[in-house]
Structure 1
């Protein structure tokens, strides 16, 4: 099923609501890209201009046919508080998932819950049946989230990603949804 570009993407899980990122979400997007705890095992610090460029790209209308990221803000359903981001980019039949959450929300299961909801939505609404994620060696919490959602380690690419001048292995996780 293909979505029209003008359709706002929104869905929920028991505790969370996910919706497409919009201009009013700049503060959380920026914080997630500069917070040293969040980015430590993800990427090097990014210049503010680059963060702004990424934000503008992510706020554009999303289309399934594009290989751009669908970025969703994850909020607490009861309070409306933004907790983090989740989403995917779709290319060659596979959706690569990603997520970033503010440190004060680590350990509550929000990331796993939002990822499970994203996988269910992508599978039921878009017909996606193959997902993958790339995790930097040492990001144990992220690997735990992926395994909890059914992903399995499929490949390790040695010394493939550099953060702060150190080379790390990339861990490639995959999940095939079978109905």
Structure 2
């Protein structure tokens, strides 16, 4: 599976991406609102859970490596995971290398994943969960048409502190065929 934008190429994660995936998850600037820096074993488990070929009915994350089309350099990951027991709903997520923050890559890649979810998968609702304090991610979701849905108080332990989860939702328009 491959998706393209003007600047980006999105392809499914493969075994050759281990070093990039490991380094992305070990960067404190990248994961500061996502998780405590995981051990290499934890990162390997997360990586391997995303390796199986993803098909529209899959229950695991569709993990796409975001590659700069001009340089060929990977700059992050994005993807989605179907929500169990909800026919046309998926959660979206993304992580970008710190040096690529603020360049519009998150917006561009999320827009493409949203179009794929709507036009190819026939999804009608997308959700995203953001740790309170991650204002950049909140702004990105709002720019992509997501609306704040609810706050789950003290939902997530991160670096020894409890944080609220902010839940966002996007009602998809009809597929554009």
Instruction: Give your verdict on TM over 0.5.
Output: yes
TM-score of the aligned structures, taking structure 2 as reference length: 0.94
Aligned to 2:103: 108
Q: CA RMSD in A?
A: 0.9
> Deviating runs (4+, > 2 A) in structure 1?
none
- The separation in 2 between residues aligned to 1:14 and 1:177, in whole angstroms, is 23
SS at match of 1:72: strand
Q: CA deviation at 1:66?
A: 2.4
1:52-89 alpha-carbon deviations (Å, 9 max, x no partner)? 11111111111222221000000111111100000010
Q: Which 5+ residue runs of structure 1 have no aligned equivalent?
A: 1-8
Aligned to 2:170: 175
Q: Does 1:21 align with 2:21?
A: no
1:21-60 alpha-carbon deviations (Å, 9 max, x no partner)? 0011112211111101111111112111111111111111
Aligned to 1:84: 76
- The separation in 2 between residues aligned to 1:148 and 1:50, in whole angstroms, is 32
Aligned to 1:31: 23
- The separation in 2 between residues aligned to 1:53 and 1:161, in whole angstroms, is 20
- The separation in 2 between residues aligned to 1:63 and 1:107, in whole angstroms, is 31
Aligned with 1:75 (options 67, 73, 85)? 67
TM-score of the aligned structures, taking structure 1 as reference length: 0.93
SS at match of 1:126: coil
Aligned to 1:4: none
SS at match of 1:53: helix
- The separation in 1 between residues aligned to 2:27 and 2:10, in whole angstroms, is 22
SS at match of 2:72: coil
Aligned to 1:155: 150
- The separation in 1 between residues aligned to 2:54 and 2:151, in whole angstroms, is 31
